[in-house]
Every structure is written in C-alpha cells, then in structure tokens.
Chains A and B, each alone.
Chain A
Amino acid sequence: MSGTMTPAAPPAPRAARIGSRLVRSDVPFQKGHTNFVRRRDRRGAWFVAPFLVVFFLFLVIPLGYAIYESLYTSKLVGGTSFSGFANYSTTLHSGPFWAGFLRVCIFAAIQIPVMLAISFFFATMFDLGVARFGRFWRTVFFIPFAVPSVVGTVMWAFLLDPAAGPFTKLVHDLGFHNSNFFSSSLIVPTIILIAIWEWTGYNMMILYTALRAVPREVVEAAVMDGASLSRIVLRVKLPLVRPAMVMLVFLNVIGALQLFTEPLLLSNFQPQAISDAFTPTFYIYNTGIGGGQYDLAAAAAVILAVLIIIISVASLLFRRGQGDRAQ
C-alpha cells in the first residue's frame, strides 16, 4: 500500500510549483514574478549601456566642456583666466551675430512655410491618387535627399552663376536683365530656393506616409456627407496629420537656424554678398576655427543652442496650445 502511495506523492508539489510560477496568481507567484521582472529589467539596462557610453563621451561631455571653456578667456600673454560671462556679453552685444540670427529667422520664416505647403500639396495629391504616375513622381521628388548639400549647392551655384549659369541666361532672356542671383539682395532668396530643392521631397515623404495612415472610413464618411475635395483635404486630412506637421516644423526650424553649408559654398562664388557672420553658425566657425577665439566661439555656440531650444520648444507649445483650442 505504502509502496504504491509513495511514487504518487512527489508529482503533486512539482505540479504546484509549476502552477505557482506560471499560471496561478497566488502569493508565491507574485513574489517570484516581481523578482524575475526586476532582474530582467536590470539586464535591459545593458542593452542601452553601449549607446549611453558613446552618448556621454561624444555629446554630453563635449557640451559640458564647451560651457566650461566659454567662461574663460585665454590671452596670448598671461594665459587663461576665468572671465565669467564676458564672452557671453561680447556675443550678445555683437551686431553681426544678431544680424546673422535675424537673417536665418527670415530664411526660416519663408522657406519652411513654402516648402511645407508644396510638400503637403503633392503629398495630398499622391495620397488621393489624383496625379497620374504618382509612384514615379514620388521617387523623383525624393532624389535630392540622397544628394549631399555640398554637391547640391555646387550644382545650383553653376546653374545660377551670374556670368555663365543657364538659369541666369534663361531669366535674362525672359526680360530680367542684370539679375544676379548672388547679389546681396538676392542671396537669401537663392539659398531659400536651394533649401527648398534639397528638402521638399523628404518632407513630402513624411507627410505622404502620415496621410496614408488616415483611416479610409474617415474619408468615406466625409465623401458620403457630400464634402468637397478641398474640404476633405483641409478639414479632415490636415487636422489628422497635425502631429506629423508639428514634428516637421520643429525639425526644419532646428535645421534652418543652423544654416551653414549653402552660404559657405556660395561665398566661394560671391564673397562680397556673404559676410563673416552671415549666419550664427558662420559666425561661430569664423570666430573659432578661423579666428582662433575658441572661448568666444564656445559662448556663441551655447547661445545659439539656447536660442534654438527656446524657439523650438516655444513653437511646440504654441502649436499644442492651438491644437487644444481647436478641440
């Protein structure tokens, strides 16, 4: 009797153990589970660690060092000494720095709305399937994203060259004589044109993807209610892709305020139209790398970073506020 009972006894605890760990949610299960989860989550930190190491070494620490450096002034005679906010004061009182900052603000205020309007228009047309050969156009529009801005600017510099550029000749033949795309009055519009060429396809692609994600039922319902095409686009689709739009405004503002490559390349072709402080990044480059005043350049870089953070966060909050009111 006992011989038959004994073998039967062990399976019971084993079943209970499995049950408690995996199926039933009694007390031992929860205790074991939280330990298990906690141990596993701590291991998750190891996946993030390699990135964080590089992130700190090559982003956080250099930024900290730049802030430190910006508080000192080194002189040829007398070495380096602590100077508090002197470098910041110099930059903030520098006329050229603010003129450059104003210039990139104007650049952003024109380039971004125009580009986003073109992007949204074409994205909508492709999404609705209004244009023929939509897939082909999408690919073509996206090509400039693969072209480095250095190469893009060199190409446009040749095309718009005052003496020999084919586009200059074209504009001349159309009756606009003496038009010089690189003159001081036209240089900003020229850079706007180049930037629109470079970035429209990318922005269009993101908007197109966001528009595709709008559920078909929403559009169908609007069609059934007799809404016109323009109404569907502006009142149904546009509000639904607002998050994408906000993100693009944000990214484009950050990009536009650090405008550098295009003016640098164009300054080769027409040095007199582009000053040493044409944009804030230009100012930083020419002060630091060109002029050797690293402390001053570091201060200017910190100021530019702060300005960009303020503007982008403010635009984000403003947009969000608008969105709330709309609802």
Chain B
Amino acid sequence: MTRAIVLEGPLSAREKRAARREVRRQEDAIGQVPLRLYGLKKGTVNFITVLCALFAMFTIAPIVWILINSTKNQANIFQSFGFWFARPFELFHNFGNLFQDVEGDGIYTQWLANTAIYAVLGGVGSTILSTLAGYGFARFSFRGVKATFALVISALLVPITAISLPLYLVYAKIGLINSLWGMVLPSLVSPVGVYLMRTFIRGSVPRELLDAARIDGAGEIKIFFRVVLPLIVPGMMTVLLISVVGVWNNFFLPLIIFTKENLYPLTVGIANWANRAVSGGDANVFPLILMGCVVTIIPLIVLFIVLQRYWKSGMLFGSITG
C-alpha cells in the first residue's frame, strides 16, 4: 500500500507538470512564428478569414437548415423559404410525434434505445479490448507478437462490405440474424483502436516504470490497473469517442443483419423512413424524418463538445499519422 503511494505520488505530480507544460507549450505555439516575419499583409489575413467563413457556411448550412425545418409542418418544408422559420411553429408537435406515433407504436423510441445500447456495449467493449491488446502489443514481446500485430493492422485494408456480407452468411447459419449480439460482437473488433492504444501506450508508459513496479513485486494485473491505466485514460477516452461514433453511425452491417424493424438502429430506421416517404404513401412523414435526424445527431454533437479536449488536442489523431 505504502509502496503504491510512493510509486504513484511523485509520478502523478510529474505527469501533471508535464501536462501543464504541454498545454502551455501548445498555447504559446498558437502564434508560433510571428506573422509579420512572413511578410504578410493585413489584407491577406482578412482574405483567409473570409475563406474560412465561406467554408464554415458550407459546413454548417445543412445543419442550420435541418434545425429550422424540424420546426415546420410538411407543407412548409417544401413551400416556405428553406433558411427561415415559417408559421405554424411545429417544433414541439414534431418532437412529441416522433416519440409516440408513427405507426402507433413509437418505433423511433425503440430505435433510439437500440442505437444507444449498441453504441454503449460496442464502444465500451471495443475500448476495453483495444486497450488490453494495445498494452500487450506495446510492452511485451511474446512469440509472434510482430506477426500478430501485422495481421491485425492488415484488417484495416479489408472493406467493411467484405466483412459484413460474410458475417451475414455466418449469422444465417448460426442464428445470429436479428440478434443484439450479432450487432455488438463485430463492433468489438477495432484494429484502429488497437493501433491507437499501442501507439499511445508506447508514448506514455515508460518501460522503466513497469520494470520498477515488477521489481517492487507487483503482479502483471496489478501493474496494469494501478500503474498503466491511470496513465492512459486520455488515450482510452479518444478511442471510446471514435468507437462510439463508429457504432452510432454504422449503417451497412445493421442494414443487412436486421430484418425486424424493432431492432433497427437510428441510421437504418431513418433510411427506411426516407425510402417510404419518397416512394409515396406516408403522409406527413417528412417532418418526422427531419426531427429524427436532429435527434440522431444531437447526442453525438454533445458528446463531441463534452470530450472536446480529447480530439482537439489532436492527441490521437496525431498518432494515426505516426
């Protein structure tokens, strides 16, 4: 116990100092080389800023459009000006409708719940597996470690289609069509996650530290939980973010393995609605589609804002490039 404190104490302080230094370094680096040294005119700065604003308009236009139009009724979506509000203001009406009554059974609520379950189980599970595997690949040299890692990375080359269709064929044989596990278990396989965690652990968990803990008599499991884990939480958060988004946005796999509507995630459900709405028949389904899209993207945008520092610091995006 005492030993653990002695081990953690000075380290976490050093870590904190290093983190603070890193933040300061990045803040300083904002104005890296003073701009006047490049001989830039003020006009150039203004021009570039205008270009940024234009591209930002392009980026944000569809989102602004959908937010505005989720407050309209069906007729106004098509007839009124797309980038401004129109009476009647139907936001709450549309929002309420979304959750209770499309075919009288509130199927959207089911899709939202499904997506959340798939994303949480798949995201958390793949983060755990990627972390363990990344640690194994980064800090041990058991027999075949290089070949195994190369095999895992080469899976990045295999297109999702070429994995999803085979999965469907296997599922058809073993009865995993229309099963929660049929969706969650493949989501646990994240070669990118393994690669990121391996890179991150190589950069943030010194071998000497592990050796010191071993000399102090700590077992491998204890070392992992008490020494390694606290150092790699930022990396894990980024992998979690990436894998939750990956499952939340996954379309092809759920499209082919689910034939029952009540198992759909949001992406497949919305695509289904869009299909039905356009091919006619369903009246007043367009406001629901738009509202459904808004509710689909809001959790993710919130997640991105909450976890901003993990992707904004570029911590792991940088290591993708390593």
Tell whether B9 is near chain A: CB-to-CB under 8 Å: no
Contacts of A174 in B (CB 8 A): none
Q: Judging by beta carbons under 8 Å apart, are A150 and B52 in contact?
A: no
Shortest CB–CB separation between residue A233 and chain B, in angstroms? 10
Do A45 and B159 form a contact, CB below 8 Å, given A159-B61, A166-B83, A223-B37? Answer: no
Do A48 and B136 form a contact, CB below 8 Å, given A131-B48, A159-B62, A220-B33? Answer: yes
Do A154 and B289 form a contact, CB below 8 Å, given A40-B214, A138-B312? Answer: yes
Do A254 and B37 form a contact, CB below 8 Å, given A150-B271, A166-B83? Answer: no
Do A54 and B52 form a contact, CB below 8 Å, given A43-B220, A147-B297? Answer: no
Q: Which of chain B's residues 70-119 have a Cβ closer than 8 Å to chain A?
A: 77-79, 81-83
Q: Which of chain A's residues 35-63 have a Cβ closer than 8 Å to chain B?
A: 40-48, 50-52, 54-55, 57-59, 61-63
Interface bits A292-311 vs B (CB < 8 Å: 1, else 0): 00100110011011001100
Q: Judging by beta carbons under 8 Å apart, are A51 and B130 in contact?
A: yes
Tell whether B167 is near chain A: CB-to-CB under 8 Å: yes
Do A129 and B140 form a contact, CB below 8 Å, given A62-B167, A223-B37, A304-B162? Answer: no
CB-CB nearest in chain B for A163: B78
Do A260 and B169 form a contact, CB below 8 Å, given A150-B270, A304-B161? Answer: no
Chain B interfacial residues counted at CB < 8 A? 106
Q: Judging by beta carbons under 8 Å apart, are B48 and A258 in contact?
A: no
Shortest CB–CB separation between residue A246 and chain B, in angstroms? 9
Bound-state Cα–Cα, A208 to B58, Å: 20
CB-CB nearest in chain A for B46: A132
Partner of A125 from B52, B77, B158, B279 at Cβ < 8 Å: B52
Bound-state Cα–Cα, A312 to B169, Å: 27
Q: Judging by beta carbons under 8 Å apart, are B300 and A147 in contact?
A: yes
CB-CB nearest in chain A for B83: A166
Partner of A208 from B77, B155, B314 at Cβ < 8 Å: B314
A3-11, A86-94, A262-270 - interface stretch: A262-270
Bound-state Cα–Cα, A50 to B266, Å: 29
Do A59 and B56 form a contact, CB below 8 Å, given A41-B142, A151-B296, A166-B82? Answer: no
Q: Which of B79, B83, B129 has the most CB of A within 10 A?
A: B129
Shortest CB–CB separation between residue A48 and chain B, in angstroms? 4
Tell whether A278 is near chain B: CB-to-CB under 8 Å: no
CB-CB nearest in chain B for A130: B48
Interface bits A102-144 vs B (CB < 8 Å: 1, else 0): 0000000000000000100010010111111110011111111
Contacts of B139 in A (CB 8 A): 44
Bound-state Cα–Cα, A261 to B271, Å: 9
Q: Judging by beta carbons under 8 Å apart, are A122 and B52 in contact?
A: yes
Bound-state Cα–Cα, A154 to B65, Å: 12
Q: Judging by beta carbons under 8 Å apart, are A22 and B215 in contact?
A: yes
Q: Judging by beta carbons under 8 Å apart, are B60 and A143 in contact?
A: yes
Shortest CB–CB separation between residue A324 and chain B, in angstroms? 19
Shortest CB–CB separation between residue A86 and chain B, in angstroms? 18
Q: Which of chain B's residues 221-258 have a Cβ closer than 8 Å to chain A?
A: 224, 245, 248-249, 251-252, 256
Q: Judging by beta carbons under 8 Å apart, are B297 and A148 in contact?
A: yes
Bound-state Cα–Cα, A286 to B289, Å: 25
Contacts of B53 in A (CB 8 A): 137
Interface bits B119-139 vs A (CB < 8 Å: 1, else 0): 000000000011011011101
Bound-state Cα–Cα, A200 to B55, Å: 10
Contacts of B289 in A (CB 8 A): 154
Shortest CB–CB separation between residue A40 and chain B, in angstroms? 7
Shortest CB–CB separation between residue A243 and chain B, in angstroms? 6
Do A62 and B297 form a contact, CB below 8 Å, given A55-B189, A210-B318, A288-B168? Answer: no
Contacts of B268 in A (CB 8 A): 150
A75-83, A183-191, A211-219 - interface stretch: A211-219
Q: Judging by beta carbons under 8 Å apart, are B37 and A54 in contact?
A: no
Interface bits B294-307 vs A (CB < 8 Å: 1, else 0): 00110011011000
Contacts of A50 in B (CB 8 A): 129, 132-133
CB-CB nearest in chain B for A59: B189
Q: Judging by beta carbons under 8 Å apart, are A264 and B159 in contact?
A: no
Q: Judging by beta carbons under 8 Å apart, are A58 and B83 in contact?
A: no
Tell whether B2 is near chain A: CB-to-CB under 8 Å: no
Partner of B267 from A148, A219, A269 at Cβ < 8 Å: A148
Partner of B165 from A220, A241, A301 at Cβ < 8 Å: A301
Contacts of A46 in B (CB 8 A): 136
Q: Judging by beta carbons under 8 Å apart, are A206 and B317 in contact?
A: yes
CB-CB nearest in chain A for B149: A48
Residues of A within 8 A of B (CB): 22, 40-48, 50-52, 54-55, 57-59, 61-63, 65-66, 69, 118, 122, 125, 127-134, 137-152, 154-159, 163-166, 197, 200-201, 205-206, 208-210, 212-213, 216, 219-220, 223, 228-229, 232, 241, 243-244, 247, 254, 257-258, 260-261, 264-265, 268-269, 280-281, 284-285, 288-289, 294, 297-298, 301-302, 304-305, 308-309, 312-313
- Can you name 19 A-B residue pairings with CB atoms under 8 Å? A46-B136, A51-B133, A51-B194, A55-B152, A58-B167, A62-B169, A66-B166, A125-B51, A143-B60, A148-B266, A150-B251, A151-B297, A205-B311, A205-B314, A223-B37, A258-B159, A261-B252, A285-B161, A297-B165
Q: 6 new A-B pairs (CB below 8 Å) besides A41-B141, A128-B35, A268-B279?
A: A61-B170, A131-B52, A137-B55, A150-B270, A151-B270, A260-B251
